[in-house]
């Protein structure tokens, strides 16, 4: 399941990795490119809670296969079947729906397959694998662009989605879903009213706000650093490829944090990780005019700590609900995460433009502060939950 997740995520950031070459080859404007990029996250935000909720009543493997087929369609529609702009928007929307169809159903399929004593740990490792997949997306897409042209990044995403379907179809069982009670809206409301769920969802939103905003604007940020005096000799660098190794560092850190969270005082561990992310983000903002390799190293460290608590958040939510409500809980988690990601990406773009654009130091500093606010929300919510858990004598939940 982890290998399949990495393969599916190849189509997650392939668009961002080859965007400059795509625009040069097609003549699409910056505004058109922005709308197409936003179509992915909008479709992901809409599709995630729907697919997650369906896991309470439909076989998860079938939902996963549907998501994989949507991902393949998104990779082939543009530019191989149609090179027009509407096809690009539709392609990114299909890819977003495909990601929604494999991520939450894949997590649910893993939970239904593992024995109960390994489910929490397994879900933490699976979510942590997402960071490795994001780096693989940039690395594979950048390599395919270098070898075969930017169009190959889309074909690569389609092929990877097909391989993931093969892995899951041949290697995973198809357990029957736990019997759910009541209509979807009633189950969503019941999960939402569960003690502590609102604070966990706010924490998830904060983590996604910072993580997806930084991942989207990271290459542009490094491009700003390359333009600073003394860094001109690095203009040749393929920045997408340069960041591809980050997942190899981020995944072990996320897995380690998840293990510490499982061992006890879950909320305090997550709060510390989120707080460190805020500190590093502020440090990066203050050192943007430093030599490129200093900025690059600090940005890699920031990316690692942004996602360090990502694997610990879903178990914090799932521990509060019954097995029959997991789909509804994952639906709320998906909605919170992806809506926050959409808003964060748009907000950061607006802030950048209003304060002088991608060549302005103050614009980038404020934008990084806006990003770091997400983990600040996560840290505050987790501290509140930790205090509540200590009052009732439960240090794990």
- The torsion angles phi and psi of 342, rounded to 5 degrees, stand at -60, -50
Q: Do 186 and 162 fall within a single domain?
A: no
**Residue 146, class by beta-carbon neighbours within 10 Å (0-12 exposed, 13-18 middle, 19+ buried)?**
middle
Q: What is the pLDDT of residue 175?
A: 66
Q: Could you give the CA distance from residue 69 to residue 98 in angstroms, rounded to a whole number?
A: 7
Nearest to 96 by CA among 138, 157, 21: 157
Q: Do 114 and 235 fall within a single domain?
A: no
Q: Do 26 and 140 fall within a single domain?
A: yes
Q: What is the pLDDT of residue 273?
A: 92
Q: For the chain, report the end-to-end CA distance as a whole number of angstroms.
A: 26
Q: Which residue's structure tokens are 């030599």?
A: 291
69 near 77, Cβ under 8 Å? no
Q: Tell me which residues of the chain have a pLDDT lower than 70.
A: 30-31, 175-184, 391-397
CATH code for the domain of 29? 1.20.1250.20
Q: What is the pLDDT of residue 30?
A: 63
Q: Could you give the CA distance from residue 187 to residue 95 in angstroms, rounded to a whole number?
A: 28
**Residue 238, class by beta-carbon neighbours within 10 Å (0-12 exposed, 13-18 middle, 19+ buried)?**
middle
395 near 265, Cβ under 8 Å? yes
Q: What is the pLDDT of residue 155?
A: 93
SS3 content of the chain, % helix, strand, coil (to 5): 80, 0, 20
Q: What is the pLDDT of residue 242?
A: 79
Per-residue pLDDT tens digits for 130-144: 777 877 888 888 889
The domain in which residue 273 lies consists of 182-397
Query: Residue 210, Cβ neighbours under 10 Å: how many?
Result: 31
Nearest to 153 by CA among 109, 88, 237, 199: 88
Tell me how many domains the chain contains. 2
- Please report the DSSP string for 230-286 in residue order: T-GGGTT--HHHHTTTHHHHHHHHHHHHHHHHHHS-HHHHHHHHHHHHHHHHHHHHH
Q: What is the pLDDT of residue 31?
A: 64
Q: Do 22 and 106 fall within a single domain?
A: yes
Q: What is the pLDDT of residue 180?
A: 53
Q: What is the pLDDT of residue 393?
A: 57
Domain closes at, from 126, 144, 177:
177
Q: Do 199 and 159 fall within a single domain?
A: no
> What letter would DSSP give residue 181?
-
Tokens representing residue 357 in the block: 């654009």
Query: Which residues in 2-159 belong to E strands, given as ranges?
Result: none
Q: What is the pLDDT of residue 51?
A: 85
Task: Kindly give, in sequence order, each residue whose CB lies less than 8 Å from that of residue 178, ignoring residues fewer than 6 positions away.
Answer: 56, 112, 323, 324, 326
Q: What is the pLDDT of residue 264?
A: 73
Tokens representing residue 397 in the block: 């939940």
CA atoms within 13 Å, Cβ hemisphere of 301? 15
C-alpha R_g of the chain: 20
Domain closes at, from 148, 177, 206:
177
Q: Do 5 and 83 fall within a single domain?
A: yes
């Amino acid at each position: 399941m982890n290998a399949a997740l990495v393969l599916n995520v190849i189509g997650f950031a392939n668009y961002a990795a080859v965007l400059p070459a795509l625009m040069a080859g097609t003549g699409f404007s910056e505004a058109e490119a922005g709308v197409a990029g936003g179509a992915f996250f909008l479709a992901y935000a809409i599709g995630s809670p729907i697919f997650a909720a369906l896991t309470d009543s439909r076989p998860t493997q079938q939902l996963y296969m549907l998501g994989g087929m949507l991902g393949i369609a998104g990779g082939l529609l543009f530019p191989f079947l149609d090179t027009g702009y509407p096809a690009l928007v539709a392609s990114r929307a299909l890819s977003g729906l495909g990601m929604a169809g494999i991520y939450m159903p894949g997590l649910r399929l893993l939970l239904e397959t593992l024995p109960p004593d390994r489910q929490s740990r397994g879900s933490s490792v699976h979510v942590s694998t997402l960071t490795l997949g994001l780096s693989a997306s940039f690395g594979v897409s950048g390599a395919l662009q270098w070898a075969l042209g930017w169009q190959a990044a889309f074909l690569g995403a389609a092929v990877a989605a097909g391989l993931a379907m093969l892995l899951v179809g041949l290697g995973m069982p198809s357990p029957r879903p736990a019997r759910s009670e009541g209509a979807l809206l009633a189950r969503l409301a019941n999960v939402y009213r569960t003690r502590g769920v609102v604070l966990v969802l706010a924490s998830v939103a904060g983590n996604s706000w910072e993580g997806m905003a930084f991942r989207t604007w990271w290459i542009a940020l490094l491009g700003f650093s390359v333009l600073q005096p003394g860094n001109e000799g690095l203009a040749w660098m393929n920045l997408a490829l340069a960041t591809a190794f980050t997942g190899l560092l981020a995944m072990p850190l996320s897995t380690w944090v998840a293990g510490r969270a499982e061992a006890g005082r879950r909320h305090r561990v997550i709060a510390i990780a989120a707080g460190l992310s805020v500190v590093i983000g502020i440090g990066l903002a203050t050192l943007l005019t430093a030599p490129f390799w200093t900025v690059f190293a600090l940005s890699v460290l920031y990316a690692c700590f942004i996602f360090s608590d990502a694997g610990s958040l879903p178990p914090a939510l799932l521990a509060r609900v019954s097995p029959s409500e997991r789909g509804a809980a994952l639906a709320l988690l998906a909605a919170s995460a992806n809506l926050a990601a959409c808003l964060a990406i748009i907000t950061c773009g607006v802030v950048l433009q209003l304060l002088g654009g991608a060549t302005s130091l103050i614009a980038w500093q404020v934008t990084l502060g806006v990003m770091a606010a997400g983990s600040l929300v996560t840290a505050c919510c987790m501290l509140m939950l930790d205090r509540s858990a200590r009052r009732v004598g439960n240090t794990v939940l």
